[in-house]
Every structure is written in C-alpha cells, then in structure tokens.
Structure 1
C-alpha cells in the first residue's frame, strides 16, 4: 500500500489552494493534506474515486482488476494472480461490510460517517463509475463540501473568492479526452458524460456545455483556471480549448510522473510553427471523426439544443490556425480567408507564450499549492521523487569504461540506466517510437492483444510491455501499428477494460520503425 508522501510547503500569508491529482478513492488523505498545508480549499483533477459496491458487482473482470491494481487502498501484491479471473470474489471477501467500499471511501462520505474538512473542487477522471457520477449530476447523491466542476446540477464554473479580492474561476472538463470517443456516450444515461462502469471519458456535448457556461460567466477581473484529466502536452486540441476558454492556467494530470511539471508551450515546443503543425494534424483527425459520425443515427435523437452545442464544440476544434494559405480550407476544417487565418495565428501566438500549465503527479507522490500574496499567485510544487537507493546498492557492480563500452557491448547498450528493481522491463522490451496506442495495463502479451477486436489485432506490429520499474510505479503497455490510421481505428475500438488508453504520436524522422515482434 502507498505511504504518505514527503511534502514540504513554506508558510505564507493569504489564501492557499492545495492542488492534487488521482486520489483514487483515498479521500481521507485530502483532509490530511489540507490540514498539513493550511489550505483553504482543494482542487482535484484525475480519477477521484466515484465508485461504490455496485461497481464491484457490475464492472467487467478486467476493468475491475485495473481499478483494484491502481487503488492506493490496496496492496497490488495481495491481488489474485493474472490467471485468476475471479477478482470480484476476492474484493467482496475483503469487504464484507456493505456500508464501505474497498475501492473508494466515497460511500462513507455520502453516508456522513466521514466529512470533507474544506471545500473540494474536482472533475471526474478516467476510471470512474459513470453511474455514480450521473447520480451526482441528478442530485440523487450529495457530499457536503464536494463540488464537481462541470456538472450542470452543481456549480458548473464555480468561483473561488480569496482575501484581497482575488477571484478564481474554475472551468472543468471531466473524463479522458480521446478524440474517437468524443461522440460515444457508452452506457451513460446522459449524453454529456461518456463512460461505463469503471471507465469515463469526455464527450463533444460536454465540451459544448463547457463553452456555453464559460460564455455566460466571463468577467475580465477573474483568474481563469482550466481543469482537465489529460496532459495538453499529449493533446494539442486541449491547448486550443484552453485558449478558447481564455484560461490563464491549466491544471492537468494523466502522465503519472513522480515529479510535477510547470511549463508553457514556448518552453517545451521547438517553435510556434511546430505547435501549429501539430494542432492542425489533431484538428484534421477530429474532422475525420466528425464527418463520419455527424449524420449518424446516434445524433438524430438529440434535441435541437444539444445539436447546437455539438456544432459549437466542433467548430472550435475545426477552427485552428494554418501554416500556409493553401492549407486554410483543407482537411474538412472551417474555411478561413487569409486575414482570418492571420488574426487567429496572432492570437494563438500570444497564448502560446502566456498560458501556463501545471501537470500534477499522483496524490501519493506529490502536490501543488497555489498561494496568493501581495498581488501574485505563487506556486509551491513538491514530490517524493524517484527511489535512487539502488544506485548505492549496485555501485560495486557498475560497468567500467563508461558510455563507449556500453555502445560496444550489445547487452549493456540496451540495458536501462535509470532506477530499476526486479520486475522492470528487459532489453527486449526496448521502447521505439511509432504510431501506436498506450494503455495503463501490464501483464501478458495475449492479455494486451485481447483488448483489440480481431480486425485491429491483425494490424499490430509490436507490443512493448513495461512492468514495475521502481517502487510505487505502475506497469503499462505500448501497442504499435504500421500507420496512423490503423492506430486511430484501434484506439476507437479498444475494450474499456484497457483503462484510459491514449494515442502514441507518430515516430520522429530518423528513428527506426518498430519491427515485427511478439506472437501473432
């Protein structure tokens, strides 16, 4: 089980906002950290823990194993073996009390047995039970001091007022942002929340509702903070959405790093043209999905108001700056004349440098505190970091000769140099870049391939499985394909038991393509 992380925050005057990610049902820790950091409120992004005992009863076995494996309330080594499919029976035997849930403390907060000490503002993440989220949306469930940002039944865009007159407007988009799933509502009874038991994702209608709510609440004297599950480093459409929302800051997660990140795109992108090119590619990928599904039977049942919201969201993702005039009206994007494209490029160029991002580690590894003092919004980010103790233990067995010897030795050359413990990936699992799909699940290759339907399974060129690489880390897998189109189609059809899957961007020039490997 995960221990409480080492954190260090300096006391300062003014309001203090604790920002954390992926509580995964360990809600009591929110109270502990808020008290430790003297926080006036908590902002949470990522998987909150919207689960209950019915989740254990109804979730697919593979997805249930995923929830249990990543839960901070459980020791992964205590779970049944991969071959033992009866994870449901194990979880029920460990929690005979129906008033509690082994996967999440949320039922105890709903019943009043436990309470949140300070206001908590959260979005829903990628591994929630959509049924539980919808009960909050319909006001059937309620927890004092818990505010779900983005729910129409709650305050969709809550305003935090701090001493000295500072006002912070929270804008939230819940669920994993996966372009092929934006028009897929899954088992959800409401079309703005996509998902099923144990897996939730963003929908285009949810984006439309967010844009509509923001339009009705805009004020120039507010600091606007956009909350999302995925990292905009991996999805330029989220950056574009943040620009459209006029956000000053973005707080995100999804990378599950051991350290937090603080950056803007100017610092991490080679050039503005590089960013515009990547944004154009993602917009074209969305356009392909939108053109294919906009006239489907699934949309004809929506009300005119909801169809208007879909068009509002789609136009945002289709209206992006282009690098060249000949690209202005291509790839199914919204038509722009030269002057319109230049104006959009200039606005985007300013936001490219001004908008600031905070990518948070999981709550068990670190956090961020925003503090207001003397007219400035300061940040204090802390994390427990990597476990490097193995460097000292293995110092006597280190290879001599440095990097030149490693390059000559085919075994040393492919041996990881970072922190590693037994169970880490071997040299045959060398990561290569290419069009592919990332899933937060390890295990056997047959298990990973089984997440895809047969027609997509046949297109897989390589499966790279990374098991535990250091204390507290989680396994993941990368599945590579020959083309971007094959990877996009495979992601759209992947089984929900794979969890919060995402696309791996295409290979960089000069890098080798992944070779054929693994079993067919």
Structure 2
C-alpha cells in the first residue's frame, strides 16, 4: 500500500487537533480531559521503572514485592499478544520474539533456531506462548499494583487497538500513549506521565502499516509515526500545568534518537525513561554530562534532522494532498514538523531549543537556553530480568535507586581448584625473587624461634635459610625495603586467599592435564548432561564447577572428547544469535602463565608495562576470557534500522528496523575459556 493510502486511513480517528468540538474518537473511547487518570497518594511512594518483561507479566508482581513498589512504569515490549497474534506475526519476528521469550522452553528455542520448515508449521500454538496477557484478560491473573506502560517494538497492533477501543481491559493496567496521559499526585509531587511507544524508524514515520486507527504496526512489530508525535505535543499542551513534574516514557532512547531528544524538550520534560538498548546496567545522565560542548550536542540533533528531511522531501508530495481536507491532521502534522524545524541544521552555533541565537553577529539578541541541556535527566533501563530503577517520591523530592544483576566477572577472579588451576612449575623461577624477598623480611627484627624453619621449608629456591641483612641492604634497587615487603606479601596475589598464596610448595606439584569440554552459562550438572547425546553422556567421567556459571566435563582421552564435541549441534558450539545466556561448549584450554605479570592474579590481562612481560611476547590491551555472560555483545541494541549487532556494534536493534534484531555480535568462536588466574 502506498504512503498516501496509509495516511488516508488515519482520517476520523485522531482525537487531538480537531476543530469545532469534533473528537473523532473510536467507539467506546472517552475524550482526554486535563484531570483524566488522576491518582492521588500521600506519604512516601516508590515507583518501580522496568523494561522488556516480554509477556512474563506475572514477574511484574514479583518485582513490585522485591522493590516494595506502589506503582510500576514500564517502557515497552510489554507482551501485547493475545490468542490470535501468532497467526499474524511474521516468521522472522516470531523467531526473534521466541528466542528472547522467558515463557518458551529452552528445547523449543533451540529447535526454532535450527534450520527447517517455518516455525508455525513445526510447532503447536501451545509450544509458543507469546504472552500471559490472555490470562490477565480473562481475570485468572491480576496485577497487584498499577502499571503504566507504552508499547514497544515487538507487539501486536490489533491488541493495542482493542485496548484503545475498550474491548480489552485489564485491572491496574494503564497504557500511556500520544492520546492519553496520567497524573500521579504522590509524595508531594505531581507526576505527569507522557508516553510514546514503538520503534523510531525514519522511513516509517509516514507509514501506518496494518493499523486501523492512529497506532502504527504490522506482523508483530510496531513503530511510531510523525502524526503520533504531533498528537503527543497537542496532548501535552492541553494538560500543561507548571506545577507538575513531567516524565516522558519512551521505548526508544532519546539519547540515540535526535528527534526524540528534541521532542522531550518540546514537551518540557523533567525526566525521560526509556529502554531499547538492553544493557546489563541502567544508566542515568543528562546531555551536559555526555557532550563536551553544546556544539557537539547540536551535531547529534543536526544529523537526525538531516535524516528526517531526506524522508520528508521524498513523501511530502503524497502526504500533503492526503491530509489537505482534514484540518485535525494538518494541525498534528504542523506540530510535528515544528519540532524538527527547531532542531539545528548545523553543529556550529544556533539554538537547539528554538530560542534566540547568540553570537558575534547577534549581540544583544540573547543567550542560548541551556536549561534543558543541563537539567533534563534521562534514565535508560536494563531489561527487567537484569535490573530496575526505583523513583522514591517523598516530601516533594524524587530520589533514585538503581539495581542491576550486572556482568559476570567470576571467571577472572574465581578461586582456583586444587590440582587443576595451579601454576605450572615452569613459571616458578619468575617468582623466585619474591620468594627470596619473603626470606629476607625477618631481618627487620630479631628472628623468632619458628621463623627460620618456616621460611626454609616454604622456599623452593636453594637459598640460605639464615637471614643476611648486609646482603639484603646492599642489593641494587632494594633501598626501599618497605616496597619490597609490600610486593612480597602473599595477599598481593589477586583472586586467591592468603592460604593459597603462602603455599608455593603445593603449586609446584605437577598436575594432570584436563581433557574436557568447557560449558558456559549452565548452573547444574544435569543441564550439562542434557546438552549431549545419550551415548555420549556415559563417556563423561565427571563434571566440575568452574566459576559461577560454568562447568568442565571431563573425558578419558582427547579423541573421545573431540568426537563428542563434533557430535554436538552447531548452535551449541557457536553463538548464532544474540542470546548471551544460552549454553556454549568449547574445548577446555587452561591458560599457561609465561611471565611474572601473568602470575599475579585473576584481574585479567591489561597489557600494562608494570609487572613485566618477561617473555617478550606482544600482549593485547584488555583481554577477557570470554566466560562473562555479557561479553560485550550485549552492550546495547544499536539503531533500530541496522542489523542488531549488542545487545554499529551493539546488540543492534537497528533504529531503522520494523522489528527487533536479526543478527548478533557473538564472542569469537576461538575464545579460550578463562581460568581463575587469567
């Protein structure tokens, strides 16, 4: 369908911007009044902010209990799917939704990722629960606290239209969109919630997709349109009250979408709360804190404006005639275009907030208004499974608490397992100067009875056990004896206890090499065995824990190990998707420490000159062992249109896309699992 056809479908449905009292509301919907949705609550109130529950709606009740929350703000990918949504969702979108769904079992996820017939042909609908929403619609499940949400990028537009018309209703669920805001009078503060859902995709700003009303989407995905932005401005203007604190709730991040950033300024927002980047930590910032200069900030807005203008110049010949007979739509389009017109066209000079322009040629005109640049705070949330933000409102003050599960660094400093992760005897000579330093430490005071035999028994080097103060004092480079003592202290070894560091004798004992497979992101022995075929399970000698969420499966011979590895499916041996939590199997290769610096603990190798690289082998900068469950590939879904590369380079839910993510940025397949002393 052409852009013209899609724009024309909007006629008669836009409640805002209409003239003469005509609202154009769909049947069952009520007009927005300034105090519509007003909630008053006194005393200290906690507002939990979460993102991406992906249909696991019962988790909202659990999170509310954990955070002691009175209200919940949710930023999209809520799980607006009902029993009929599966028939409408596209194959590619279905694979993505299923891969990250907390409701679909792991065996089904693995089978979906395997090549074969379309997913809907291979599985029954009962195997693909997209959301728990039907159970909340029929009343079998309930929300314990009020939930205010926008829709995300992966939702069913038909379900949202039924909520807007009143056909669907869930107690305590309030959908914030361009036509409806909410006012919470809590803790001495009036919180005005303004929201805009869906992905921001420049080439879809004038496309309504399969939407029958003002909501845009299709085939299981949703995005925002320019007319929705214009309607949100109209809503915000009609309910404006200078005594209110405004929170702008979006799915896409205003930090990455210049047009959303400018929209938040237009809405006079005090806070923005967004998701869409899928980090393991939430972030809190204002533009002043992340831009070195105002011109740098202008540059981001100018780039977004140029991108929009490319699309607008292409479609305005169709759009303008399509709405020429509809005054309401003309008003909304004007509101939206006015947002873009106020954005700077160049990074140099100009006022990104639409105020007077200062400069050498404009003396006396006025200064650049930097109030929003410095005072509007943005919160980008981690997924609900990994963290949350709490706004604590009391006595007119809004405080914050942020919690995150975070990255898993257990593989760097995990305790070494006796007999398996000891340092090799070949590495011991590099430690001898420090063991010798341990011998010389008693020279600072009269030797005590047991001191001499203790040092003698612990020293692997054939040095005299008797303290030699004169020799020690005259050693070159040892004038600062306190520094030597610091270095030689057993506790200086990272990732080990004092007892381990003080037992070089035990570390010199040779150990049998491990013949095994390293299994990442598993928590139980049964989970490891489930990855292998039945005939291969019998070949596993034992399963050993290695770090917080990793295991090592031992085998009798290298040939047997390699044969078992070859029989595993490819999706277990390499990362083909973005899910960093899925099990990954590699050949176990403990790292050997070839230098003094490498023996100092489990903080990773940073390529520093301190500690020495005695082997002379060039070392990289920062090197992680790859056993973190985050790896860097989950860092953030980039722009909506690019291939998702974190979860241009991030888990790219590309901003120019109509659905979330096609690709990933997995860890290198040859990454060596990190041991405790890497």
TM bracket, shorter-chain basis: 0.7 to 0.9
Does the CA contact (< 8 Å) of 1:438 and 1:478 recur in 2? yes
Alignment of 1:305-324 (within 5 A): 305-321=328-344
Moved segments of 4+, more than 4 Å:
322-328, 334-348, 393-396, 398-402, 404-410, 421-425, 434-437, 476-479
Equivalents in 2 of 1:143, 1:422: separation in Å? 36
CA deviations on 1:119-152 (whole Å, 9 max, x unpaired) are 1100000110111111112222111111100163
Q: 1:511 matched to which residue of 2? A: none
Does the CA contact (< 8 Å) of 1:366 and 1:383 recur in 2? yes
CA deviations on 1:184-241 (whole Å, 9 max, x unpaired) are 1111112x32211211111101101100000000001101000011112212221111
Please state how far the C-alpha of 1:437 moved relative to its aligned partner.
Answer: 5.1
- Name which of 212, 233, 250 aligns with 2:234: 212
Is 1:370 matched with 2:391? yes
Please state how far the C-alpha of 1:43 moved relative to its aligned partner.
Answer: 0.5
**Residues 406, 232 of structure 1: alpha-carbon distance in 2 compared, 3 angstrom cutoff:** farther
Equivalents in 2 of 1:110, 1:279: separation in Å? 42
Query: If the length of structure 2 is used for normalisation, what is the TM-score?
Result: 0.56
Query: If the length of structure 1 is used for normalisation, what is the TM-score?
Result: 0.72
Equivalents in 2 of 1:133, 1:211: separation in Å? 21
Secondary structure in 2 matching 1:242: helix
Please state how far the C-alpha of 1:435 moved relative to its aligned partner.
Answer: 11
**Residues 258, 345 of structure 1: alpha-carbon distance in 2 compared, 3 angstrom cutoff:** farther
Equivalents in 1 of 2:615, 2:399: separation in Å? 45
Is 1:195 matched with 2:217? yes
**Residues 106, 245 of structure 1: alpha-carbon distance in 2 compared, 3 angstrom cutoff:** same
Is 1:119 matched with 2:119? no
Equivalents in 2 of 1:201, 1:259: separation in Å? 25
**Residues 38, 66 of structure 1: alpha-carbon distance in 2 compared, 3 angstrom cutoff:** same
Does the CA contact (< 8 Å) of 2:178 and 2:228 recur in 1? no
Is 1:268 matched with 2:429? no
**Residues 441, 374 of structure 1: alpha-carbon distance in 2 compared, 3 angstrom cutoff:** same
Secondary structure in 2 matching 1:187: coil
Q: 1:142 matched to which residue of 2? A: 169
Alignment of 1:43-192 (within 5 A): 43-79=73-109, 80=111, 81-92=113-124, 94-95=126-127, 102-150=129-177, 152=179, 156-164=180-188, 166-190=189-213, 192=214
**Residues 206, 380 of structure 1: alpha-carbon distance in 2 compared, 3 angstrom cutoff:** same
Secondary structure in 1 matching 2:406: coil
**Residues 139, 388 of structure 1: alpha-carbon distance in 2 compared, 3 angstrom cutoff:** same
What's the RMSD between the two structures over aligned residues? 3.9
Secondary structure in 2 matching 1:296: helix
Equivalents in 1 of 2:279, 2:221: separation in Å? 21
Does the CA contact (< 8 Å) of 1:258 and 1:362 recur in 2? yes
**Residues 372, 89 of structure 1: alpha-carbon distance in 2 compared, 3 angstrom cutoff:** same
CA deviations on 1:285-304 (whole Å, 9 max, x unpaired) are 11121121122169616733
For structure 1, list consecutive stretches of 5 or more residues without a partner in the other structure.
1-11, 96-100, 329-333, 443-462, 467-475, 480-490, 503-520
CA deviations on 1:358-378 (whole Å, 9 max, x unpaired) are 111000111111111232100
Equivalents in 2 of 1:281, 1:341: separation in Å? 25
Is 1:18 matched with 2:48? yes
Larger radius of gyration: 2
Equivalents in 1 of 2:653, 2:607: separation in Å? 28
Secondary structure in 2 matching 1:258: coil
Does the CA contact (< 8 Å) of 2:253 and 2:274 recur in 1? yes
Equivalents in 2 of 1:407, 1:60: separation in Å? 55
Q: 1:388 matched to which residue of 2? A: 409
Equivalent residue pairs, number: 427
